[in-house]
């Protein structure tokens, strides 16, 4: 005699609501990740033992290790850097220029930017990280 089960049990997981949950989690993490670090240009700053906070208005020049130059997160070719920096600084009274240079750069690349600031008669500060 053959005994057969007439109904086979099948288990299912209803996953239709998981799509909505995953979408909201993705959206949440995208929004939060942009708020965490407003400066998106990735560089490694050199370290220093003393830190100084700035309270004045500032202009930021970022130099990546591939010699890409940015003024306040806007890419600028090296040839136009001094002219655009002069325009930017002329609109801000008593401006301070913060140089964020990657630690793998040669010193001459940073000195070139400092010379531009000297010609424009602008106060310049080199950004570093704490120990």
pLDDT digits (tens, 9 = 90+) for 18-61: 888 899 999 988 888 776 655 566 777 777 777 666 556 788 99
Please name each of the domains of the chain with its CATH number.
Answer: 47-130 (3.30.420.270)
Separation between Cα atoms, residue 59 and residue 84, nearest integer Å:
11
Instruction: Region of 75 please: left (phi>0), alpha (psi -120 to 50) or beta.
Output: beta
What would the two tokens of residue 74 be?
A: 């806007």
Strand partners, 29: none
Strand residue runs (E) in 1-127: 47-48, 58-63, 69-71, 74-76, 96-101, 123-126
Q: What is the pTM of this model?
A: 0.60
pLDDT in the model for residue 129: 80
Strand partners, 123: 96
For residue 10, give Cα distances in angstroms to 6, 7, 13, 16: 13, 9, 10, 18
């Amino acid at each position: 005699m053959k005994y057969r089960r007439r109904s086979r049990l099948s288990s299912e997981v209803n996953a239709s609501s998981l799509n909505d949950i995953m979408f909201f989690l993705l959206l949440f993490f995208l929004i939060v990740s942009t708020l965490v670090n407003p400066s998106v240009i990735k560089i490694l700053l050199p370290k220093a033992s003393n830190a100084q906070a700035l309270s004045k208005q500032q202009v930021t020049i970022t130099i990546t290790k591939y010699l890409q130059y940015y003024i306040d997160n806007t890419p600028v070719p090296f040839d136009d850097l001094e002219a655009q920096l002069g325009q930017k600084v002329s609109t801000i009274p008593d401006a301070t220029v913060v140089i964020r240079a990657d630690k793998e750069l040669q010193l001459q690349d940073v000195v070139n930017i400092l010379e531009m600031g000297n010609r424009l008669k602008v106060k310049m500060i080199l950004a570093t990280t704490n120990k």
